[in-house]
Amino acid sequence: MTIAGDNGAPVPGLDVNHVRDGLSTAEVRERADAGRVNSVPTATSRSIGEIVRANVFNLFNSVVGGCFILLLVLGQWRDALFGLSAISNSLIGIIQEYRAKRSLDQLAILQAASNTVIRNGARETVSSDELVPDDLVVLNAGDQVTADLLLLDGGPLEVDESLLTGESEPVPKQTGAILLSGSLILAGHGRATVSRVGPETFAYRLAAEARRFSLVTSEIRRGLEKVFTVITWLLLPTALLLTNAQMQDQGGWAGAMGSGRWIPAVVGAVAGIMAMIPLGLLLMTSVAFAVGGLRLAGQKVLIQELAAVEVLARVDVLCLDKTGTLSSGTVVFDALHDTGRAPVAGWRHALEWFGTNPDASSTAAAIGAAFAVQAPLHEQGSVAFSSAQKWSSVTFGAESAAPGTWIMGAPDAVLGAPGCADAHGKAAALAASGRRTLALAHLPGPLPPDAAEAGMPPGLVPVTLLTFRESIRKDAAATLDYFREQGVSVKIISGDDPRTVAALARGVGFGPGRAYDARTLPGDPHQLEETVESHSLFGSVTPSQKRDLVLALKRRGHTVAMTGDGVNDVLALKEADLGIAMDSASPATKAVARMVLLDGRFERLPAVVDEGRRAISNIERVSLVFLSKTVYATVISVVTGVLLLAFPFLPRQLSALDGLTIGLPAFFLALQPGGQRYAPGFLRRSLAFAVPAGICTALCVLVVSGYAQTWGGHTPDSAQSAATLTLGLVAAWVLVVASRPLNLTKGLILAGMYAGLALLFTVPLAQDFFRVDWPPTGLLVLTVVVSAAGCLAVELAGRYARRPPRSAARKGLGPLTLEAAPPEADGGTAGQRDGPAST
């Protein structure tokens, strides 16, 4: 004998014995041994090995590591200090990514579910990953479906598929229906057999595409990659030029190799190569993002990738899923509405009974919260709600406070009797507004036995209409207002009915308007772009359509953030520039999101924006200094190599100057408060100052070093000391210009830098270690004069960089500024500012 589905067709492969006894132990073992179990990969991100490889084995780490090892082999450990910067940069990236991976793995474990199954004719509880095909699963209200199931009996069930489809309305399921993994049983009970497990399930296949690893689209990263690409092409020819120049300075290749003077030549070549690589910029970028991640972690925001802190600072479109983001997903009572009839005594007692019914649905539970009672009336009889009839009823005795039969359900099913036309019209108008609507009607006598088939009998009196809405998060409206004030467009993209989406949108400040029905979205990509650009509310959106809408916005040049909590949001989160998952999200959703709100508080996002702006503003500030260094180091290396001059510095001297004029001050500047709305053009703005400032600095060093080596007759140590002092003074002024506007904290940082520079040439231990000393009087005077001229040139370069481009001037745009925040706002809250972008 076979089992028939609700359409009368047989369910193949099942018989009465299976439905009664389930699988035997031998059958379970056979399937498990064949690998057919409901187990899926639990890794939520890259493995530890992949994290280490990505942060350690890259081009510049290879160059730095090779130079570091070479100097150690040659016994020049004092000149190998630059290796510490590369090690620190790699460690920060590894620790941050591993920390995020560990947190996500723990979150995935916490959401593991158990199931009640029938095996060997007895019930037992097993974990979700122990299910095998054809297992007989017992379902009850509140159970989560962890594999794809085929419903055998016990229906109808009320199933919440919002995590998969985004539709928050319960879906009725009859015998023979498929229950998809990731859905939740809201009401009813029954038995089902497992049809698909593990990677074959619907939820896993939907999320499979999202498991591919990709990096956040970071403008800072792209800009630095362009700089590093140019440096990569310059490294080899510059290294050859420098090595040849140093060898020639040591008496030629033959003389240097024969006398052992090739070691100083190699050290000089390494110094030039290492000076060209802005290792500190990578480190400071990682530090700024890591500190931002730690600050946000204190606010229950998990950052999975460091650059995600930056992205939200420049987002201009925020796409929101409705359920779980703007709403909590729970139903709350909204209001009572008059039907135009005189009230019937006892209606409140009836509502109290419906609200305390132990088999009540989520909607009836909302009634119980609104009409609470300690002891409801005792009923004579009742009819349970079913999706087929769409109503339930209760009958009280004549002696009770609410005599007669009370029927509550969908207006179409309850108000079909004669005389209910006016109430039915009012219910239709309420439903059209997007609110869930139920009707309560009264029948003086008992309900006829055939009411479920024949419909409501004559004499039915409409008593009241009840409307319900989804519970809106308390912080939703204020958070959306913040984004609107910041010029960020907000779009709601939901799988719910468009009327429901529009109703909720009105509750969070969108105003009147209809939601676009995604079932009519155009297939042409260009028309789709115009549609998503001109509309803010979308309903009935499928998972693939969510992704298409995000891609259309990105093609329009927008930086898109997407929030969500369901598997139906995974594809869109993956394609968005920044995916944000809520605390209630499925493990697959959290795995692909770059940011997870661990406590589900939507109001955390403004703080994330502020932190991103702080980080990106400070990174842009310190980038001016580091890129200036790259420019002057490249110019010095190339000119030295072409003119066959000795390289002006030892690696340790450059390391000392990097620490004093760039590294340590930049570290503190990278942690400064303040920031404002980000504007595109990070690299252009940075290079507009860094290139002229770097060239000016290089010319000053070359003039002093060239004079000392060629015409002054000074010793190599004196020439190196003069070049070191020149570079220290001019590079310090580069930092002064980049740090503006100045405040007390920045003033102390700059004062400490100059004090350190003085101590470097004064303290005997430092003089001995770094091989520096005050130059002779004549050379010292030249050094001071040239350095002063260089500082003036850097000041002029800074003023030139603040001038707007001609195209911007023609458009009436304001001037660009080197300041990362206006003076009156420095140290304030980024979310309260709306000034021009920084350079």
pLDDT at residue 113, as a whole number: 66
Calculated CA dihedral for residues 647, 628, 239, 640, nearest 10 degrees: -30
Quickly name the fold that domain 301-326+474-600 has.
Rossmann fold (3.40.50)
Q: Work out the number of other CB atoms within 10 angstroms of the CB of residue 237.
A: 11
Q: Please count the other Cβ atoms lying within 10 Å of the Cβ belonging to residue 175.
A: 21
- Residue 728 is predicted with a pLDDT of 92
**567 sits in which H/E element:** none
pTM more than 0.75: no
Q: With CA atoms as reference, report the closest residue to 339 among 419, 402, 443, 273.
A: 419
pLDDT at 339: 85
Distance in angstroms (rounded) separating the CA atoms of residues 535 and 513 = 10
pLDDT at 661: 81
Does the 16-43+114-211 domain belong in CATH 1.10.10.10? no
Instruction: Give the largest CA-CA distance in the chain.
Output: 120
Supply the DSSP string of 27-93, one letter for each residue: HHHHHHHTT-SS------S--HHHHHHHHHSSHHHHHHHHHHHHHHHTT-GGGGTHHHHHHHHHHHH
List the beta strands (DSSP E) in 155-240: 157-160, 171-173, 178-179, 184-187, 190-196
Predicted pLDDT of residue 109: 41
Q: For 16-46, write each residue's pLDDT tens digit.
A: 556 678 888 899 999 888 888 887 655 555 6
| Residues 816, 123: Cα–Cα separation, whole Å | 72
| Active-site choice (160, 321, 569, 658) | 321
pLDDT (tens digit per residue) in 222-241 = 777 788 778 778 877 877 77
Q: For residue 148, indicate whether it is catalytic.
A: no
pLDDT for res 833: 32
- Give CA separation, 199 vs 30, 108, 252, 813, in Å: 19, 16, 67, 54
Q: Does domain 216-297+609-828 have CATH number 1.20.1110.10?
A: yes
CA 28 to chain centre: 41
Joined tokens for residue 507: 């509750």
Which residue type sits at 109? I
Q: Residue 156: is the preceding peptide bond cis (ω within 30°)?
A: yes
Q: Which residues of the chain have pLDDT under 50?
A: 1-13, 107-111, 210-211, 213, 806-839
State residue 16's pLDDT score.
55
Write down the pLDDT at residue 763: 92
CATH superfamily entry for domain 330-471: Calcium-transporting ATPase, cytoplasmic domain N (3.40.1110.10)
Q: Give the count of beta carbons closer than 10 Å to the beta carbon of residue 365.
A: 18
| Domain boundaries of the chain, sorted by first residue | 16-43+114-211, 216-297+609-828, 301-326+474-600, 330-471
> CA nearest 318: which of 587, 42, 615, 559?
559
Token pair in block for residue 519: 């079932």
